[in-house]
């Protein structure tokens, strides 16, 4: 490449592979995690497991990847250096809102055996506090009224209906989002929507469908313009959509697929298990729970990234206390797993200075995340009469965060599907009471148990500030 000339575009160097997986929500996480595992599984054992990505709304991923033949670079950011990989398992990208019929036909193709998802917690159109389908959700209202869907559950149900009509077996629905019992949740949402449309279809899905639960783990910070420029310098070509990720990865999958058809995931380190529940609880509460705690308390302490939080001795000690005093006592470890060793590994991953995972990014969609990441631990501790002052402080920090201003009065851009309601509640005369009254987040019985400790934690944050409040707990 001559100096001053634009770099050529990254292109595919491997042959295309027939599509066996349609993935809804082709974001950075899946491209740095599942797509890499699937490519390795095909390299190890073969199989037609090419991935067709689907963006439900945005055209960005399609526009970035199509000129590159669906391929992109994955840059591993280790404490001791960087490693590049050219990922070529994605064969193409569709945009659902542009052509929903094309997406449904792709999902109904006989060659497709798996439909996987990373649509975030809010993409399931469910009530996080109960796991039930929110039939008042605008997307679900539309999906019940029209044959061309807009929601992820709508696409699953309508595509399964096509397969049923054509005498094809269902595809396996493989959710890769951070929800406890995520397979059970998406199965329930799909069956509720299917029953509302066609009880016979629901009965077929219930009998023949498979919805294995999974646990996924890899820290994947948002790609920034400077990351794109860095990859271009490294490879001498322009990649519009590289992904950054840490060295660590984990994927635990319940081995329950329609007809047993899946890539040879076990050959590349995926843990295939009978029940993923204990792994899910461990990861959601120990990693995601402390990630969210650090996001809100770290942001209110002036820290931009998780690594910055860990470089602060107070926050470092605080997160270690969360693990040892409040989270680990509420967990049953998976067989052969040491929870203190897992906590130490998380500590080392958080402190990796090469991973710039922004507290603001992790703080997004807190109304959807808190029930899974923190409230479950609080329930366990309340039932066992164990104090949870650190987690109470984290929830109180969220209550301050969602008002849209930090403790100094500086504005916060709050990204959350309930953002207007959260702001109204958080800026009311009784912010703690008003936020606890949001049943999408806090079940009524739990809200009553949290009322007094959260009021105390909230007052402490306003009086002392985030960092001093954490230090006082230690």
For residue range 403-413, list pLDDT tens digits in order: 999 999 999 99
What integer pLDDT is reported at residue 1 of this predicted model? Answer: 47
How far is Cα 183 from Cα 135, in angstroms, rounded to an integer? 19
Q: What is the pLDDT of residue 248?
A: 96
Q: SS3 for 367?
A: helix
Percentage of residues of the chain with pLDDT beyond 70 = 99
Question: Are the beta carbons of 95 and 55 closer than 8 angstroms?
Answer: yes
* pLDDT at residue 270 tops 50: yes
User: CA distances (Å), 278 to each of 213, 254, 287, in order?
Assistant: 11, 12, 13
Q: Which residue has the tokens 């009021």?
A: 455
239-265 per-position pLDDT tens digit? 999 999 999 999 999 999 999 999 999
Residue 251 φ/ψ, nearest 5 degrees: -145, 115
Structure confidence at residue 192 (pLDDT): 98
Backbone φ, ψ for residue 424 (5° rounding): -60, -45
72-78: strand order across its sheet:
81-87, 72-78, 243-245
Q: Which pair of tokens denotes residue 436?
A: 């606890």
Distances (CA, A) of 280 to 101, 143, 154, 214, 347: 35, 30, 26, 7, 18
Instruction: Tally the residues of the chain.
Output: 474
Average of per-residue pLDDT values in the chain: 96
On the question of pLDDT at 365 being above 50, the answer is yes
Q: What is the pLDDT of residue 4?
A: 56
Backbone angles phi, psi at 71, to 5 degrees: -95, 165
Q: Is the pLDDT of residue 2 over 70?
A: no
382, 449 Cβ separation under 8 angstroms: yes
Spatial CA neighbour of 469 closest among 315, 328, 308: 315
Give percent of the chain with pLDDT exceeding 90.
95
Q: What is the average pLDDT across 426-455?
A: 97
Residue among 185, 183, 338 nearest 255 (CA): 183
Give me the mean pLDDT over the 272-298 stretch.
Answer: 96
Q: What is the mean pLDDT of residues 150-177?
A: 98
pLDDT at 196: 97
Cα gap 239→102, rounded to integer Å: 27
Give phi and psi for 114, each to the nearest 5. -135, 135
Q: Distance between CA atoms of 171 and 288, rounded to whole angstroms?
A: 29
pLDDT in tens, 208-240: 999 999 999 999 999 999 999 999 999 999 999
Considering just the CA atoms, what is the radius of gyration of the chain in Å? 22
pLDDT at 20: 98
Query: Domains of the chain, with CATH numbers?
Result: 19-273 (3.40.50.720), 277-473 (1.10.1040.10)
pLDDT band at 80 (very low <50, low <70, confident <90, very high): confident
Residues 69 and 51: their CA atoms lie apart, in Å, by 12
Residue 189 is predicted with a pLDDT of 98
Q: What's the average model confidence in pLDDT over 137-149?
A: 97
pLDDT band at 267 (very low <50, low <70, confident <90, very high): very high
The pLDDT of residue 7: 84
Q: Which residues have a Cβ under 8 Å from the Cβ of 381 and sit 6 or more positions away? A: 326, 329, 330, 387, 388, 391
Q: Quick one: pLDDT band at residue 5, thresholds 50, 70, 90?
A: low
Which pLDDT score, from 0 to 100, does residue 94 have? 98
Q: Is 220 helix (H, G, I), strand (E, B) or coil?
A: coil
In tens, the pLDDT along 86-123 reads 999 999 999 999 999 999 999 999 999 999 999 999 99
Using alpha carbons only, give the angle 190, 194, 196 rounded to the nearest 5 degrees. Answer: 125
Question: Rounded mean pLDDT of 381-401?
Answer: 98
């Amino acid at each position: 490449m001559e100096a001053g000339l634009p770099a050529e575009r990254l292109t595919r160097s491997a042959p295309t592979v027939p599509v066996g997986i349609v993935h809804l929500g082709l974001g950075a996480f899946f491209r740095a995690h599942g797509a890499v595992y699937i490519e390795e599984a095909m390299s190890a054992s073969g199989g037609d497991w090419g991935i067709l990505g689907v963006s439900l709304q945005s055209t960005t991923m399609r526009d970035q990847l199509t000129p590159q033949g669906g391929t992109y670079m994955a840059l591993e950011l280790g404490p001791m250096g960087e490693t590049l990989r050219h990922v070529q398992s994605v064969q193409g990208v569709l945009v659902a809102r542009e052509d929903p019929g094309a997406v449904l036909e792709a999902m109904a193709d006989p060659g497709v055996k798996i439909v996987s998802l990373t649509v975030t917690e809010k993409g399931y159109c469910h009530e996080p506090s109960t796991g039930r389908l929110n039939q008042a959700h605008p997307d679900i209202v539309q999906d019940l009224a029209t044959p061309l869907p807009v929601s992820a559950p709508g696409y699953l149900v309508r595509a399964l209906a096509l397969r049923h009509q054509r005498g094809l077996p269902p595809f396996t629905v493989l959710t890769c989002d951070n929800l406890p019992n995520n397979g059970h949740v998406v199965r329930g949402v799909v069956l509720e929507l299917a029953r509302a449309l066609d009880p016979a279809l629901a009965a077929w899905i219930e009998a023949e469908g498979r919805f294995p639960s999974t646990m996924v783990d890899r820290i994947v910070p948002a790609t920034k313009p400077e990351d794109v420029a860095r990859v271009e310098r490294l490879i001498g070509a322009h990649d519009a959509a590289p992904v950054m990720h840490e060295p660590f990865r984990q994927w635990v999958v319940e081995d329950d697929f329609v007809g047993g058809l899946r890539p040879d995931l076990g050959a590349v380190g995926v843990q295939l298990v009978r029940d993923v529940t204990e792994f899910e609880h461990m990861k959601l509460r120990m990693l995601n729970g402390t990630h969210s705690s650090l996001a809100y308390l770290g942001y209110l302490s002036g820290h931009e990234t998780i690594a910055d939080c860990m470089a602060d001795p107070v926050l470092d000690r605080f997160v270690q206390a969360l693990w040892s005093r409040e989270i680990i006592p509420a967990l049953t470890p998976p067989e052969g797993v040491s929870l203190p060793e897992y906590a130490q590994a998380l500590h080392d991953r958080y402190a990796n200075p090469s991973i710039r995972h922004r507290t603001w990014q992790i703080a997004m969609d807190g109304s959807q995340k808190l029930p899974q990441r923190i409230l479950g631990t609080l329930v366990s501790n309340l039932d066992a009469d164990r104090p949870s002052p650190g987690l109470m402080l984290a929830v109180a920090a969220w209550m301050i965060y969602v008002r849209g201003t930090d403790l100094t009065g500086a504005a916060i851009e709050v990204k959350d599907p309930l953002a207007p309601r959260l702001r109204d509640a958080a800026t009311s005369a009784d912010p703690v009471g008003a936020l606890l009254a949001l049943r999408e987040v806090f079940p009524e019985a739990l809200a009553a148990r949290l009322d007094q400790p959260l009021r105390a934690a909230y007052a402490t944050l306003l009086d002392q500030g985030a960092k001093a409040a954490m230090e006082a707990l230690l």
